[in-house]
Chain A
Amino acid sequence: MKKKVRIIPGFGLTMGVTLAILSIVVLIPLASLVVFTAKLSISDILEVITRKRVLASFRVSLLTAFIASAVNAVMGVVLAWVLVRYDFPFKRLLDGLIELPFALPTAVAGISLTSLYADTGFMGKLFAKAGIRIAYTRLGIIIALIFIGIPFVVRTVQPVLEKLDPLYEEAAGILGASRGQIFRRVILPELRPAIFTGFGLAFGRCLGEYGSVVFIAGNKPFETEITPLMIMSELQEYDYSSATAIALVMLAAAFLILFLVNLIQIRNAKILKGGH
């Protein structure tokens, strides 16, 4: 590639500030985690992360985060569609609610969801009649994670849907495609990168979520013990090396998810630009 001449000024300043703050807030602290784990040998780390309880916690975390993000992917598309394409009373209110999980502290969410979904709670009672326990089971974790992940897919799909040129849909309609076909063949392919991005971000966030889950999970080893709790409990046993080893695995997972998301997003950006 030919080296481009920089016409717009400010590279040094902005890059400098970016790197400086990034280093202090993210890089140096993360590096200290890596340095700390470097004191352990590979076999030590492997020994820690292949303990049955740790593996079980990975399984619980991955499973619940995946289900919750999948639910959010579907509901996110529905919500984005409703918010972009339809007009109805209180639409703005509904739109404004989407960010609530960002704004409401996770601890508050956890306490309030637990009291709602416990056997004695408002929602829990309904399900208890059907013999379904929600709080203190994996279902409870999934509920909390759905709550946490709602904004991600909605907010990534929404802008794409807004900029999607209705001409294609019209053309497909004129050519005799049904609404379902239009959605599947015309709209969904355009939304797919955005859905994956939102899904990835929600998934990453759900994997690491702690505050809301600990209240509702019941925290039984092998059943409802999530990985962040596992780290917490290693810390409480003064076992820094185990805690950091598990943390390193989670960190690698977070990094991988984000890298994939950003790859998808580059495509997404092109769509956004093209639609403009």
Chain B
Amino acid sequence: MKKNIFRLSALALAIVTGASALVSCGSKSEAAENKNFSIINVSYDPTRELYASYNEAFKKHWEAEHDSTVEITQSHGGSGKQALEVANGNPADVVTLALEYDVKAVEDAGLIEPGWVDEFPLDSSPYTSTIVFLVRKGNPKDIHDWGDLVKEDVGVITPNPKTSGGARWNYLAAWAWAQGEYNNDEQKVIDYITELYKHVLVLDSGARGSTTSFVENGQGDVLLAWENEAFLSLKEYPDDYEIVTPSISILAQPSVAVVDKIVDKNGTREVATEYLNYLYSEEAQRIAGENFYRPSNETVLAEFSDVFDLNINLVTINDFGGWDEAFEKHFADGGLFDQIFEGEA
């Protein structure tokens, strides 16, 4: 009897694995060899509209210069989660994430070779953004700067810095303002940040979730948002919201990289590299600007000077000693952010 069970188990095992193998082969053979490239771009949440337009432009550009076609598959989600999935086997040819720190996680998994930061111009950061406030029309709570966020009756919406790349920029921008305001008195800065998060009504896991809470479900008085997210909401509901630029904010530099291990396996290095390179072309820079990302190309940026507040005072991540240091101090388990919520700081 025992032997029988064993044999049958083996049989069933074979059937099930066979079936799943069949399915996977089916999906595999789609990417046929005859010079039709198919690449996957794993990106973060707010770039959905940007890459929808850019992919069209790139397809045209590539197919005009090569006798092959290219299909681009998009994946969007929280930046950290996306990086993790790539590290775990999501076969991305390129990653275009919210933070250098997230791309580094893919590097740490052995998929991207060190030195990727210098592979493309400007620290592999083709467009930038910053953090602004989105308030309800007429600014009824009179919010103009970071200090106003902790006024008594103000409800703030921001995502959770533990899970959202954008929220980390929000937090650091607030920190930078408080540092200037309180002359680097760290305890006062922490008090301010603690007070700020006491005013947070909904702490969504991602930037998009926060926008939904604020815009669709009417929560809170002010949304700390990516500049491009704020503009998008404004575009959709011009009569309901306005943007407030605080006196100081942070230069958010999203990072892009080719996933070396995957492109070498798929033979897509050339098209993947060109895909990221073309992000720096004037056409792509203009697309970035149209989607409310700040183009890194100065001439193109100037074209959008009526859209962006170019006089905004921006700190960068280097003012925090780089991502590793900032992450360790603020966002790691038991870091300052945790302590703020535990009321121990």
Instruction: Give residues in A with beta carbon < 8 Å to B.
Output: 11-13, 15-17, 19-21, 23-24, 51-53, 114-115, 118-121, 135-136, 214, 218-222, 229, 232-233, 235-239, 242
Contact = CB atoms under 8 A, between A and B. Distances in A.
B7 A219 contact: no
A218 B9 CA distance: 46
A222 B4 CA distance: 54
B341 A53 contact: yes
A43 to B, nearest CB: 15
Contacts of B78: 236
Contacts of A242: 333
A21 B203 contact: no
B84 A19 contact: no
A238 B203 contact: no
10 contacts: A16-B5, A20-B13, A51-B334, A115-B216, A119-B217, A135-B217, A219-B160, A236-B163, A237-B162, A238-B80
Contacts of A214: 205, 209
A12 B217 contact: no
By secondary structure, the B interface counts as helix
B81 A115 contact: no
Nearest to B202: A218
A13 B12 CA distance: 10
A45 to B, nearest CB: 14
B9 A23 contact: yes
Contacts, number: 108
B32 interface: no
B213 interface: yes
Contacts of A222: 341-342
A219 B16 contact: no
Given A17-B8, A23-B13, 8 more contacts: A17-B9, A115-B217, A119-B218, A218-B202, A220-B202, A221-B341, A222-B341, A229-B205
B205 A238 contact: no
B87 interface: yes
Contact of A118 (B4, B83, B209, B218): B218
A224 to B, nearest CB: 8
A15 B4 CA distance: 10
A218 to B, nearest CB: 4
B242 interface: no
A21 B205 contact: no
A16 B334 CA distance: 48
A222 B80 CA distance: 22
A237 B342 CA distance: 19
Contact of B12 (A17, A114, A218, A219): A17
For chain B, which range describes its interface: under 10, 10 to 19, 20 to 34, or 35 or more residues? 35 or more
A24 B1 contact: no
Closest 5 CB pairs of A and B: A16-B8, A20-B12, A12-B4, A236-B80, A118-B217
By secondary structure, the A interface counts as helix
B342 A52 contact: yes
Nearest to B165: A236
B104 to A, nearest CB: 10
A114 B219 CA distance: 12
A32 B330 CA distance: 32
Contacts of B111: none
Given A16-B5, A23-B9, A114-B217, A219 B80 contact: no
A237 B201 contact: no
Interface in B323-345: 331-334, 338, 341-342
Nearest to A240: B84
A220 B8 contact: no
A138 B126 CA distance: 42
Contacts of B190: none
A143 B314 CA distance: 43
B85 to A, nearest CB: 9
A16 B12 contact: yes
Contacts of A118: 217-219
Contacts of B200: 220
A238 B160 CA distance: 16
A232 B12 contact: no
A235 B81 contact: yes
A13 B10 CA distance: 11
Contacts of B341: 53, 221-222
B204 interface: yes
B122 to A, nearest CB: 26
Contacts of B342: 52-53, 222
B163 A233 contact: yes
Given A15-B5, A20-B8, A136 B201 contact: yes
B213 A136 contact: yes
B217 A233 contact: no
A14 to B, nearest CB: 9
B117 interface: no
Nearest to B2: A12
A23 B10 CA distance: 11
A236 B84 contact: yes
Given A136-B201, A219-B160, A221-B341, A238 B84 contact: yes
Nearest to B205: A219
A13 B5 CA distance: 7
